[in-house]
Structure 1
């Protein structure tokens, strides 16, 4: 019997264009959303669509920077809390959908810690930053 690895399932799903949270959960490769706050990501991608990161993860089809607002910013803020770049005790005040100075500072901390993976600390949440942040937040 052939063993299928998570990488093989993810790669196959990406090629067929059906990679999604339900597929990963059904395959036992990802945990269900850890909290109701994780729904921000679904709301975001429902609004702006999905693109594929370099690592095969679905990411929002939008770049964010200071001044951005809405569900995609909430998804970003949720991911920053989940990855401990913002203290979880601050989450109720932090996850407000407004990409202001606190969100920018947290993004810069994340990008500074992982400059190679995110393309460097520029405060813009683009293709590389989303692609590295979301798997870390959901993992």
Structure 2
């Protein structure tokens, strides 16, 4: 019957969840572009192989908002994503760690997102991390 009706079964990927979460940001293009960069680097991270795609999308959006200075994670964000800031912070830290070694961790993705058509998102992340994640001396 399924074949006769030509149903196709699948599950939503992280972009489906990012689209939903973007409603809370009025589809802010800069946030979405940066979040897409973070979503693509998850492909190269073994720790995230079994991670729920909804969590990855929410974490990517959370991290992008944080780096772009777009304010707090609101109740609206929690409603559309299903995750609180506390649940996303560990993923944000993992994204930042991956990006500290971007040229070795995800070279091709880094180069892709360094292009103008992707708003040089990877370069923005590098600049952000060099400014805000500088090692502290005791």
Question: With structure 1 as the length reference, what TM-score do the two structures score?
Answer: 0.28
Hey, which of these two has a bigger chunk of helix by percent?
A: 2
Return the TM-score normalized by structure 2.
0.28
Q: Which has the higher strand share?
A: 1
**Higher radius of gyration, 1 or 2:** 2
